[in-house]
Amino acid sequence: MRKIVGALLGVSAFTRPLDSGALTLDDPAVVNIRENVGGNLALAPTTQTRWYLADLERAQHQADAGNLQLIARLYRAMRADGVITGLLKTRTSGVTRLPKKFYGNHPSVDALKARNGSRSLFDDMVPPAELAQFVADGVVLGFAVGEMVPVPGRSFPVFRRLEPEFVRYRWVENQWYYTSVAGLIPITPGDSRWVLHVPGTNVAPWTAGIWKALGRAFVNKEHAISMRSNYSAKLANPARVVHSPIGATEAQRSGMLRKLIAWGLNTTVELPVGWEVSLIESKGTGIEVFQAEIDTCDLEAKFIVSGQTMTADGGAGFSNGDVGQEIRADIIKDDADAIAYTINTQILPAFIATHWGVEDIDTGAQLELDVSRPKDLKDEAASLKDVATAIAQLTQVLTANGKKLDIDELAVRYGIPLVSETDGEVSTVSPAAPENDTAALKEAA
């Protein structure tokens, strides 16, 4: 199975084989340690609440050396920003909620689509919430790591996203590692346990993440918000001034100063003849600098995550309303294709091999996330209707002249799906009874 999956993933022939003594997720020592800590694989994460541009530079140097700890901490801190979190959730949750299409003439197709209430077997195996966070990791960091966790009573594991703070990459080995509660464990994508998602480039994928640009906007915005709050707090209490007459004694001035210092809410002061009290208030224009910095950082975050601002501000700056939608659709398509590739090469092959055999991996189900918009579907249906009318008319004309229309050629040209007459029926497997699903899947096979 590893050879087949390695071919699917395009694993190079120059890849260094793992050491025979390296730990694995199924190693008895690893299993024993995990059982003692409640099943956790990751260590407790480190929280950093204050970030500076110097930290961002240090994170870049460490990441290029293969230490991805600091950029993962920065990413977790960025989730505290409302604008960044909202944009990421819109982008990634929308991808995982796209209609799922399984292709192929294999029992695994119907098995993955089989529903148990509102959920399918695929959703039970790959929970949407875990997948959305996993996709977000890939978008921001350029990589994401997860584990297929065995579940007693089920014949299929459940996907769990792992904290990216503990991912390491060793250049001299071209090997990914995970720092776990049991020590350093090599990450082997597609071995039925590890899932490594690299939506960008395979070489130094963290360079394809948006964390650098997004991190700069986040750090600058945090500082601007802090300085704006400090500025507002200082100007919230304007300076109080008392004007004494020329003949006032030192004792009178000291007494009035004490009353001024004790000025609280609803303070009332009776002033002798010749005395005046006033406030010195700032025009408050200095705060506009900080607000402009915050707005600039928010605008940059919108461009970084969405590729445009129309999704967030409703279309200001675009003369054609479809432009923003097309840009957004392209980004969603990229995310959908990337996560579908990871699922098709690292999750589904193990599922198919477990229930139908390794030899069925090549013919098993393939996932595609449908990003078609209702308008596109309507246009496609209208096009098919026109093609059908044209075929009927062409057939009539050509038959009268002793010619025959090549339906298959037209179907290929216009993307019309055809089913061969030799294609058989596929069986449906219901995941309603997890303890019996192995027997049902085998029976269907």
Q: Lowest mean pLDDT: which of 15-24, 108-117, 131-140, 162-171?
A: 15-24
Share of residues in the chain with pLDDT > 70 (%): 80
Is residue 375 over pLDDT 80?
no
Query: Which of 180, 296, 176, 294 is CA-nearest to residue 232?
Result: 294
Share of residues in the chain with pLDDT > 90 (%): 38
pLDDT of residue 435: 43
Report the C-alpha gap between 376 and 235 in whole angstroms: 55
Is residue 383 over pLDDT 80?
no
Is residue 138 over pLDDT 80?
yes
Structure tokens given for 270:
């009776």
Report the C-alpha gap between 342 and 190 in whole angstroms: 9
Model confidence, pTM: 0.73
Instruction: For residue 65, name the pLDDT band (cuts at 50, 70, 90).
Output: very high
Is residue 210 over pLDDT 90?
yes
pLDDT of residue 374: 53
Is residue 37 over pLDDT 80?
yes
Instruction: For residue 321, name the pLDDT band (cuts at 50, 70, 90).
Output: very low
Per-residue pLDDT, averaged over 215-224, amounts to: 94
Instruction: For residue 131, name the pLDDT band (cuts at 50, 70, 90).
Output: very high
Per-residue pLDDT, averaged over 35-61, amounts to: 92
pLDDT of residue 333: 86
pLDDT of residue 366: 92
pLDDT of residue 15: 64
Is residue 324 over pLDDT 70?
no
Q: Of residues 296 and 417, which shows the higher confidence score? A: 296
